[in-house]
Structure 1
Amino acid sequence: MNITTRSNIGKRDSNQDYVSTFVNADNQTLAVLCDGMGGHNAGDIASEMAVLQLGNSWEQSDFKNKDIEAVEDWFQNHINEENKRIYDAANIFKDLQGMGTTLVAAAVFEEMTVIANIGDSRAYIIEETSITRITEDHSFANELKMTGQITEEEALTHEKRNTLTRSLGVRSEVKIDFFSFSNSGKQLLLLCSDGLTNAISEKDILSIVSKNKSDASKADELIEQALKNGATDNITVCLLELAPQSLGLEQTVEKKEGN
């Protein structure tokens, strides 16, 4: 599997995004991308804690049965452990008060991928002629859109489009959305922070990643285009090239919202 990660500070004073990939005992890959929030250096501490602690736990895991429910249970347990770790730190240390982070993570197996999501960092499946958003933003504007109170166009410019309704480490418990799909055919999985999606349309993302060039060049161009479009936030992307499968399984995406 080819994996490419890129992160750019944008026009911020610090980069509160953090992304990394990990491999467990059975050579199974986990990619985690977090977009931190909080004053001073609290946001980057929260995002780094979440990524590295979750990754460390993944490296000790082994999913021989590759069962979706087992993976979701693993995510549920370990993400909530990290939520409590960040929440407790923010309540103990005054300079970390209010810190939290989004989280989008992908557990990639030979035949399937399982996504866990909290906040407004996103996961996309990109194929030759289509782009499919897998995750739903946990933002105030998106909640209004989903209940029909505003249109999708209005949500793009809503004054509270970046106000999160769910994030890691802000409350003692956190809800997690899960999505799963088969890795049938050759697919590219994109994880990204909202610094990218606030500055570049899904249509333009598809145009860039569909080019006949290396994944590294695609990732660089995504960030360059977002900056040209006036992006001010940190911008982070992770591209995972999923191996083609020998069986032509029908692709479906299953969503399970956290309780």
Structure 2
Amino acid sequence: MEAIRLAVNGRTDIGRVREENEDCIRWHGDPEQPFSYIVIADGMGGYSGGATASRIAADTLDRQLALLPDGIFLSCSPDQQQLMLRATLIDAIDIANREILETKGTHPQFSQMGTTLVAGVIWGDFLIVAHIGDSRAYLWNNYGLQRLTRDHSVVQEMMDQGKITEQQAQESNIRNHITRALGVSEQVEPTINSWTLTESALLFLCSDGLTEYLDDHTIERVLATHRPALECVYRFIDDANQLGGRDNISAGIMEFSNTPGDFAETSPEAITRKPKKDDITVRKEQR
């Protein structure tokens, strides 16, 4: 455990067209344990509704995950800790879903709201990712880029069935139609996968406001070349805005290092700093 180093950074931006930011991002790096996470939610549902749903989802996961590395957790075996991480994610997603549904029931103006969600958690060399909708997670290392999530969307289903190509999906006028979201039904079905990290890597999470403009090849090129690596979040948001910025844009990145000297240009305060309000609400021009 001592050899593992984690650093994390995140940013959300309103974009160039929308009047409100319906994305929400939360991230955290533990100052004492090899434990970090990123949560991104992309809300939908009209004025203030999407922002409310995404905030509920991101805050709920942030709150539940932050409580995890307590005495009981630390006293468990690695296998037990991994099971506890998975259970915590599942429980937090269920709690968020119920809270969104309850808020919809008591506030008619939010009746159409819901949100996507992607969360990535690293404990030691264990990585677990949960997602619902089309917000994504990627992993980059010396072998290249791997997409860790498969969109819950209509165009993804059409691609899986061989009806359209990835390029056609990118250009489709229904590319934003998702098939799963939080706050839609009593039962929510996240996809959860986990991996063991064997070498230094970058974990990258984003909302579809970014992947609308930047394909996997572009994402891979930036993650491979832009340093300090944590500042990729600003580069990605700038690029998406320059290409149109029609949607809100969120990006979070985590450095996992088990080799001395990797990502050495990282600012020390980025390892543990919680996001400030300005990190999650500002317009691009104000950054």
Q: TM-score scaled to structure 1, two decimals?
A: 0.89
Structure 2 equivalent of residue 39 of structure 1: 46
Q: 1:181 and 2:187 equivalent?
A: no
Stretches of structure 2 that go unaligned for 5 or more consecutive residues are 1-5, 261-287
The reply to whether residue 238 of structure 1 matches residue 252 of structure 2 is yes
Q: Structure 1 stretch 229-238 or stretch 210-219: which is displaced more?
A: 210-219
Structure 2 residue 220 is matched with structure 1 residue 206: yes
Equivalent in the alignment of 1:121: 135
Does the Cα contact within 8 Å between 2:23 and 2:249 map onto a contact in 1? yes
Work out whether residues 129 and 210 of structure 1, in 8 Å CA contact, stay in contact via their aligned partners in 2.
Answer: no
Which residue does the alignment assign to 1:92?
106
Q: TM-score, normalised by structure 2?
A: 0.80
Given that 2:7 and 2:29 are in contact with CA atoms closer than 8 Å, whether structure 1 keeps it comes out as no
Q: Which amino acid aligns with 2:128?
A: V
Match of 2:8 in 1: 3
Runs of 4+ in 1 over 4 A off after TM superposition: 23-26
Match of 1:179, SS state, is strand
Provide the secondary structure at the position in 2 that maps to 1:170: coil
Instruction: Note the C-alpha offset of 1:74.
Output: 1.9
Alpha-carbon distance, 1:222 to partner? 1.1
**Does the 8 A contact of 1:25 with 1:61 survive in 2?**
no
Could you say what secondary structure the match of 1:31 adopts?
strand
* Number of equivalent positions: 246
In structure 2, what is the equivalent of residue 250 of structure 1?
Answer: none
Q: How many Å apart are 1:212 and its aligned residue?
A: 4.8
Distance 1:58 1:23, change over 3 A: farther
Structure 2 CA distance, aligned partners of 1:238 and 1:155?
24
SS in structure 2 at match of 1:40: coil
Aligned partners of 2:223, 2:247: CA distance in 1, in Å? 21
Residue equivalent to 2:160: 146
Determine which of 6, 18, 42 is the counterpart of 2:24.
18
Are the aligned partners of 2:126 and 2:195 in contact in 1 as well (CA < 8 Å)? yes
* Residue type at the aligned position of 1:237: A
Q: Does 1:69 align with 2:83?
A: yes
1:135-168 C-alpha deviation (Å, 9 max, x unpaired): 0101111111112222222221222110110001
RMSD over equivalenced CA pairs, Å: 1.9
Instruction: Give deviations 1:57-82, integer Å, cap 9, x for gaps.
Output: 22222333343333222211221111
In the alignment, what sits opposite 2:3?
none
Following superposition, the deviation at residue 38 of structure 1 comes to 1.0
Q: What is the match of residue 58 of structure 1?
A: 65
**Matches of 1:128 and 1:211 in 2, distance apart?**
11
2:43, 2:115 within 8 Å by CA — same for their partners in 1? yes
**1:137 paired to 2:151:** yes
Which has the higher relative contact order, 1 or 2, with Cα contacts under 8 A spaced 6 or more apart?
Answer: 2
> Could you say what secondary structure the match of 1:173 adopts?
coil
Q: Kindly provide the amino acid, as one letter, of the partner of residue 59 in structure 1.
A: A
Counterpart code for 2:249: I
**Aligned twin of 2:92:** 78
Q: Can you give the 5+ residue segments of structure 1 that lack an aligned partner in the other structure?
A: 247-259
Provide the secondary structure at the position in 2 that maps to 1:79: helix
Per the TM alignment, residue 231 of structure 1 is displaced from its structure 2 partner at its CA by 2.7
Asked if the contact 2:230/2:254 (under 8 Å) is kept, the reply is no
Q: Which residue of 1 aligns with 2:177?
A: 163
Instruction: Give the Å deviation of 1:192.
Output: 0.3
Q: 1:60 to 1:189 in 2, by over 3 A?
A: same
- 2: CA distance, partners of 1:26 / 1:115: 22
Tell me the amino acid that sits aligned with residue 209 of structure 1.
Answer: L
